[in-house]
Structure 1
Amino acid sequence: MKTNVGGIDRLLRIVVGLVLLLLAATGQVGAWGWIGIVPLATGLMKSCPLYSIIGLDTCPMKKT
């Protein structure tokens, strides 16, 4: 899987994902809060399938 999620983007995904999951687990938001699994997973894997589809890349790695 190609890495296409860079530093700040990755950090924000992980934080937002964890916050949503925490809020869902404590019952402060509805079931939609479990969607936090998606940004958390993409942040941890450093790859976003949607970014691949639309050709976006926030990773500062050199292109070869």
Structure 2
Amino acid sequence: MLKKNVGGIDRTARIAIGAFMLLAWAFLTDASPLWLIGIVPLATGLMSSCPLYNFIGVNTCQKKG
């Protein structure tokens, strides 16, 4: 399981941007597969984990304590 490293505004923005991209491409374009790009921010937002953040050592979750 991936470590949670996406939180707060970052998580909300990823979910909103991903959902918007999926809806926009689904309604505004033809059968282009580019709308699938919206899955990446949506998935990382829903899972609260970003593999790129793990790689570069970034964590936007609030610290407990």
Large movers: runs of 4+ above 6 Å: none
TM-score (norm 1): 0.86
- Tell me, in whole angstroms, the C-alpha distance in 1 between the residues paired with 2:33 and 2:20: 14
Q: Which runs of 5+ in 1 are unaligned?
A: none
What percentage of aligned pairs have identical amino acids? 56
Q: Which runs of 5+ in 2 are unaligned?
A: none
1:38 to 37, 40, 59: 40
Computed over aligned residues only, the root mean square deviation of the Cα atoms, in angstroms, reads 1.8
1:53-64 → structure 2 map (5 Å cutoff): 53-62=55-64
- Tell me, in whole angstroms, the C-alpha distance in 1 between the residues paired with 2:50 and 2:10: 11
